[in-house]
Structure 1
Amino acid sequence: MGSTTPPGESPAADPLTRFQSIAQDVLDSAEHSCGVEVLETNLERALELLRRNPDRQSQFEAELVALIDSMREGVVELVSFVMHELRWPAVEEAISRRISAPLRDVSHLRLYEAMLEAFSDSWRDRDLYARFEAEGRQEP
């Protein structure tokens, strides 16, 4: 009788609603902690939810872009983590547009650049996360 839905998530909830809840967990944790270790469990949950619902990609992309525009604590980590794996062009383009024509606060430019770097195999922050650190050790 085991459930495949992680604790704290309603199996009946719409995938977008579940993603929003996970994203909020990431943002709340980031607000009250230092370091990505505290965030990684929820980052993994977010990634797995996005992978399990490819039919909702356009909705998830819109949600990620809205998060990028909010620039709250934890957004860079969430977007970077999931996009390093998924590399959705619409999210990459949205970030690139914000770099080439910053809409608001120019001080966010470095944060946009950090998120864009995650789309590369050579993302320099990848070793901050257990998922990618283990992969890095396996490379020759």
Structure 2
Amino acid sequence: MDSTLMENTSKHGGLAAEPVAELRQVIQGVLAAAEETYGAEALEPGLERALAIVQTNPEFEEQFENQLITLIDSPEEGVVEVVSFLMHALRWEAVREAVEEKITNPRGDVSNIRLYEAMLDSFTDSWRDRDLYVRFAGS
């Protein structure tokens, strides 16, 4: 086993969990930044990093979907941006279904329905917030 592989294995408790843990860490950074700032431009580098992790590790799609579905259960500051940015690029059906479920069967704070509607909008080509992000502006 080469030293890089050993280092990655020991650092993250096994190779299989590494991309999932890395995504979780990047998302937490985005959520922390969202608490401290207003504006998508401050969040976009973290969102781009999250998208890169997901796109370079397609074998972990199910675990990544679960991470995002867990996020939507309690949409704190920044969750709408994370889910919307990633889903505008990826359009994962499991995440769409989870968001739709939150809209059709709201539990708890019904004011969150607007947040879920904003997330659902990101699954369309005409997502109204796409121009907030360099990646999607002009598309």
Q: Aligned partners of 1:130 and 1:44: how far apart in 2? A: 10
Is the counterpart of residue 48 in structure 1 residue 19 in structure 2? Answer: no
Q: How does 1:1-140 map to 2 (within 5 A)?
A: 12=8, 13=12, 14-133=18-137, 135-136=138-139
Structure 1 residue ranges, 4+ long, deviating more than 4 angstroms after superposition: none
Report SS of the residue matched to 2:102: helix
| Match in the other structure for 2:4 | none
- 5+ residue gaps, structure 1, are 1-10
* RMSD after superposition: 1.1
Larger radius of gyration between Structure 1 and Structure 2: 2
5+ residue gaps, structure 2, are: 1-6, 13-17
State the TM-score, normalizing by the size of structure 2.
Answer: 0.87
Q: TM-score, normalised by structure 1?
A: 0.87
Deviation per residue, 1:44-69 (Å, 9 max, x gap): 00001011111111101111011111
Whole-angstrom CA distance in 2 between matches of 1:58 and 1:103: 25
Amino acid at match of 1:51: Q
How many correspondences in the alignment?
Answer: 125
Amino acid at match of 1:131: R
What are the superposed Cα offsets for residues 73-93 of structure 1, whole Å, 9 maximum, x if unpaired? 000000000000000000000
